[in-house]
Each structure stands twice: as C-alpha cells, then as structure tokens.
Amino acid sequence: MSFATPKLIDIVKKQFLFKWKGYRPFFTNLVILQAIAIIFSLGGIGSSSHGREGVNVSESIYSADFVLAFTMLWAFIVAILLTSKAYREADFVFITNRFTAQLANVAFLFTISVIGAITAILSRNLLWMITYFSSDNITFVKEAALHPSEYVMGGIATILYVFLFSAVGYLLGSIVQMNKMFAFILPVVFIALLILFGMQEQYLLLWLHEFYYQEDSFIWWFVKTGFTATAFFIASFYLLNRQEVSK
C-alpha cells in the first residue's frame, strides 16, 4: 500500500467543497434575514412631507442599509460558528490538518461574503420594486447616476465590509475556543467599552469611523480594510493552530 503525500491546495479545495455542500442552511438563513431586513426597510429610513397650495408632497428615503447590516451580522455569526467545536470536528472527519481547515474556512467566508454582498445590493432593487408596486402616485428620485466603475467599487467595498465582519467573528470565535471563559468576558468587555467610550465622546468609535469609513481614496481604504481582515485571520490561525481536536 502506498502512502499518498497530499498537495495542500488539493485538500483545501476538497475541504472548501465539503463545507460548501454541507453548510447550505447558512444561505437559507441569509434569505430569511434579508427578507426581514427588507420588511424593516419598507417604511423608509427617513421621510418628510410638506404641502403647499393644496398639493401635498411627501418624501421618503429608502435604503438597503438594513439589509447590508443584517448581512454583516450574518457573516459575523457564521464565522463564529465555524470556529466552534462541532464544526471543527466535522472538518476532521475527513483528511485535513489545522492549516488546511482554516484556509478552507477563509475561502468559505470569502465566498459567503461575496454572495451576501451581491444579494444585499440586489435587494435594493427589490425594495424599489416593492415600494413602486405598493403605492400610487410615486416618483422615484434616484441617486445621481453612477459611473459603472463606481458600481464595481461599491460592490467590492460591500464585499470587503461583509468579509471584514466575518474576520472579526472568526477572531472572536477563535479566542473563545482558546478558553470558554471568553464567551462571557468578551461581551462584558464590549459593553463596558461602549459605556466607557460613550462617556468619553466615543473617541475610539469616531476614530474607527474616520479611519475606515471616511477614507477618501478607494485604494487606501481597500488596503486598510483588507489588511485588517488578513491580520484578524492570521491571529485566528495562530490561536486555532495549536488547538487539539477535542472529541
């Protein structure tokens, strides 16, 4: 009997496909979450109305921000789940080591980020359609027409944001796997930080907002966000790579 020496990339591919087939229910969850988000968004995120000389004009601003927020949350939770014991054990049923399992996880999270982002973007159109068909006398005022390259950049940005959230979830999940105590400590610390920063005029949150969200250069923003996600994953790799598969 010969001993196969496997190629790393082959095993990662196999693990990725295994997850892709096995974790279909995540996508059902995504559809449900996005549907809920659309329902929330139907009321519009802002409105004003003014009437003059018998004409009553009401303005509503519709946005798919809710859908995007829910999608990010979804990616965050999926990432945490992937680090949990049950999911890691399922990796080790078939051929893998810790590194290939993790690479397959990142590939899987990136794929779901792409799917999540694209469906979130498309849901904006759905939202318009629903509001269009459900009300009379309506005029759409779209945002100023975008250049196709701006659409692409918007798409990439959305994907990367969702991916970044999954990276945060993955890192938090990995920390909890190191010691279950963190499952209690982390939320407490998080809430404490919120309160603390709430008192101190939210310097950190403001800084985060400025650093990521308000970056004008797309390239710079891309580098910053991509780098952060990568750093989170590397940290997670380091934590999970030493873990025993406890059965």
Partner 1 sequence: MNIVQCNAVSKSYGNVAALDEVTFSIKQDTITGIIGRNGAGKTTLLKLIAGYWKHSKGDIHVFSENPFNSLTVSANMIYIDDQMTFPDAMPLHSILTEAARFYPNWDAKLAKRLFDYFSFHPNQFHDHLSKGKKSTFNTIIGLASRCALTIFDEPTTGMDEAVRNDFYRALLRDYIVAPRTILISSHHLNEIEHLLEDVLLIDRGRVKLHLSIDALQQYAIGVTGNQAVLSQWANDQEILFSKDDGENSLFLVVRNNVSKEKMDQLLGLGIKPTSISPAELCLYMTQLKKGGIDDVFRDA
Residues that bind partner 1 (CB under 8 A): 1-6, 8, 11, 14, 17-19, 21-25, 86, 89-90, 92-100, 241, 244-247
**C-beta closer to partner 1: residue 62 or 237:** 237
Please say which residue, 142 or 242, places its beta carbon nearer to partner 1: 242
Q: Which is nearer to partner 1, 221 or 237 (CB)?
A: 237
Q: CB of 8: closest distance to partner 1 in angstroms?
A: 7
57 Cβ contact list (under 8 Å, min separation 6): 49, 50, 51
Nearer to partner 1, 17 or 32 (CB): 17
Question: Are the CB atoms for 95 and 136 separated by under 8 Å?
Answer: no
The long-range contacts involving 233-237, CB below 8 angstroms and separated by at least 24 positions, are: 233/102, 233/106, 233/167, 233/170, 233/171, 235/171, 235/174, 236/83, 236/102, 236/167, 236/170, 236/171, 236/173, 236/174, 237/99, 237/102
Instruction: Provide, rounded to whole angstroms, the least separation between the CB of residue 226 and partner 1.
Output: 28
Q: Residue 5 CB, nearest distance to partner 1 (Å)? A: 6
8 Å CB contact between 87 and 81: yes
Show the tokens assigned to 153.
């950049």
Minimum separation from the CB atom of position 15 to partner 1 (A): 9
